[in-house]
Amino acid sequence: MQNKNHIDFSEIKLILLDLEGVLLGQGENKDKLVPLLKNFADSLKQLGCIAGIVTADKNDAVKDLNSIENMFVLHSAMDKLSAAQKLIDKLHLNFSNVFYMGDEVLDLPLLSKCGISAAPKTAKRNVKRSVKLIIDNSTAEKLLSTILNYKKGILV
pLDDT digits (tens, 9 = 90+) for 25-84: 656 667 788 899 999 999 999 999 999 999 887 665 567 788 899 999 998 767 999 999
Exposure string of 103-137, with b = 16+ CB inside 10 Å and e = fewer, is: bbebbbebbebbbbbbbbeebbeebbebbbbbbeb
Question: Which pTM does this prediction carry?
Answer: 0.92
Residue type, 154: I
Domain layout of the chain by residue ranges: 2-152
Q: Smallest Cα–Cα separation from 71: which of 46, 40, 105?
A: 40
Asked whether the beta carbons of 156 and 12 are under 8 A apart, the reply is no
CATH architecture of the region 2-152? 3-Layer(aba) Sandwich (3.40)
